[in-house]
Structure 1
C-alpha cells in the first residue's frame, strides 16, 4: 500500500518518499515519548512536594461521619442524605465504603 500527499510532496512509492514518511513517523513517536516522560516527571515532582492529584473531595471527614451516622441509624435514605449534603448519590455510597480512606 502506498501513500501520496498532495501538499507535502511525500510519495511512498519512491525510496525517498518512504524515507521521509518514516522519519516523520519517528519524530512524532519521539515527541510523544518526550511528552509522556515530562508528564511523569512532573507528577512525581508534585507528589514529592506533597501534592495529590485528582478532584478535591466534596465532603470533609466530619461530613463523611455524619453521612455514615445518618445512613446506619436508618434515619434517612441515601437520596435524602445526598440532597441534604448537596452531593450525588454516588458520593454518599462512596462515603459508606468502610474501607475508604478520607483524603
Structure 2
C-alpha cells in the first residue's frame, strides 16, 4: 500500500513534503513516504500554503476551497484533504484503483 495518500470515501488525503521557495512549481516524486511538491512562494505569512492549495486545486480540477491543510500548516510535512477530485494527475503516483475500491 502506498503511504503518501489514502482515499476516504470520495476524498483524497495526501501526505506531502513541501519545498517552498523553489524555482518552479511541480510534483517532484517521493520524499521518503511523502509526496514531494515544490512551490515557488516563500514560506512566510502563509504564502506557500495558499500557493500549495491553488496548485493542488488546479491539478485536481477542484476549487481552492476543496483543498484543506488538515495538519502541518507550519511544517514542511503536511497532510491535505482534497474533496472529490475531478482529475488525478499522473504525477501524484496513485494506484489505478480510485475511491470506489479504497478502504
Same fold (TM over 0.5): no
Larger Rg: 1
Give the alignment's TM-score, normalised by structure 2.
Answer: 0.22
Give TM-score scaled by structure 1 length: 0.22
> Which structure carries more relative contact order (alpha carbon 8 Å, separation 6+)?
2
More helix by share: 1
